[in-house]
Chains A and B, each alone.
Chain A
């Protein structure tokens, strides 16, 4: 490798590192304490439902209070939580949203897409 090429590589690396250093925001101190987020879902007969987004921040406690008119089961992907839903009986699923990302919620019986749990890194 010639000296000029070495110089180009070094300058580029310094430039990229400098850009990274100046652009990357400081690690935020958590502005808010984890919250309890409650979502009530009345799923009816599992046929007439439009998918929703449920937004929380990482570390929040999430509680789904779910009622289905027919026997079914709700599955939370990513967390792999499974909530049996006997017809007409309100059921509760509570967990800490410690995995960031989009996690789908679906009904196993009616194969209905309930929505997406969006867990954002805490700002």
Chain B
């Protein structure tokens, strides 16, 4: 009874949201829907096997249709269109830093929080999934380094050769720092502007040291994240032998077919995209809270000498450290699971390829699961908080302006019915699962010649994907803490 009273006291004194900004408005999905989604994932996995068991589906190279000559793209390439867009993106960032530094302290009334967290981070990710590599063209930090080149010729050429061993680890470290800031930083408009200035300094230093080409490939984590997501897009932006930019139309996801992850750090980065979203969802649930504070193992009570709930204030700092440790460890935990299931597949089909090589070959097949899970977790924020940008452009500093007459009317959010949200979550997760199974199956057909080996190799991979999908659905169905 006493413990229940203590728990109630703790629960009511716990911040309801770990987010710096914006709380997805959806509620936990009904349990039956989670079970249905998990069973449907299993059924659909075997359907993919059944429908695409032969080689014929994958023998043809994916078709690409060049769009570079279409009128809108011709217009974009003419004159100053791209330069103007680059300038607009850079100025938007500069303006958001300014509003954060001198504008309202209220996160919801200052332009910079909604612009950065919702439009840039979420909108930018989903835009990459739809129109491909927009960020490679309009990256504001790349634009800034080009401006530096004008003031200081050869600024972006670099002073040192990028160490091959570093690979994508700098981007992963920055990505982890970013997620930690989002979840534990209690970021406000002012501190967001300071963080953006700091990140700008890091990027300019990176460009100065190793050159723009290497830094924006390996170090700037938004560039790495958006580039990964853009591989699934139905639009491909590349360059021809003369360096001229080309735009292609293709079927969604075919960019993942036959693609190989070039370094294990990129695989960990990809897995962190999945595990950090899962962690964010899990950390707001009752099971996660209880697993620590109810101390089911008794270890904490033994360690501290009393039940942790009895001195919540003192133990809370340890809880946050424990959560940060779990966040950092999460992609490596997922990596362990990937390695284990691939090792099982290797044993079953008796291939000579190492687990490491298999992980590099099959790694991209996990990307659709990671991206759709990100979408299901956060997309309602775009409809809820994202549309409020209409009001914020009328009053960007939160000073009571009404520049365009939308300061009040632009605040109305779009809130789909909860049933629509839940069904769309399950549908999206199943879509990502089916695509992932399909990509993995295509890779298995590319690697192994006979159908039996292909099927044997795919059983553990399929189990891994059902596990990831099931865990994702389970988290979405858990009751919220508090």
Residues of A within 8 A of B (CB): 4-5, 8-9, 12, 15-16, 19-20, 23-25, 50-53, 75, 77-78, 80, 99-104, 106, 108, 111, 113, 115-116, 118, 120-121
Contacts and interface: CB of A to CB of B under 8 A. Distances in A.
Q: How large, as a class, is the contact surface on chain B?
A: 35 or more
Contacts of B50: 4-5, 8, 12
A114 B104 CA distance: 18
Given A25-B32, A102-B27, A103-B25, A52 B12 contact: yes
B16 A23 contact: no
Given A99-B415, A111-B104, 16 more contacts: A12-B46, A16-B40, A16-B44, A19-B40, A25-B30, A51-B16, A51-B17, A52-B12, A53-B482, A77-B108, A78-B25, A100-B418, A101-B26, A102-B24, A104-B17, A111-B188
A78 B413 contact: yes
B197 interface: no
Nearest to A106: B108
A112 to B, nearest CB: 10
Contact of B27 (A5, A25, A100): A100
A5 B53 CA distance: 10
A53 B17 CA distance: 10
Nearest to B25: A101
A12 B47 contact: yes
A20 B30 CA distance: 13
Nearest to A6: B51
The 10 closest A-B pairs by CB, nearest first: A101-B25, A8-B50, A100-B418, A12-B47, A111-B106, A53-B482, A50-B13, A51-B16, A116-B16, A102-B25
B36 A8 contact: no
Given A5-B51, A78-B384, A99-B415, A111 B15 contact: no
B16 A53 contact: yes
B240 interface: no
Contact of B36 (A23, A101, A102, A104): A23
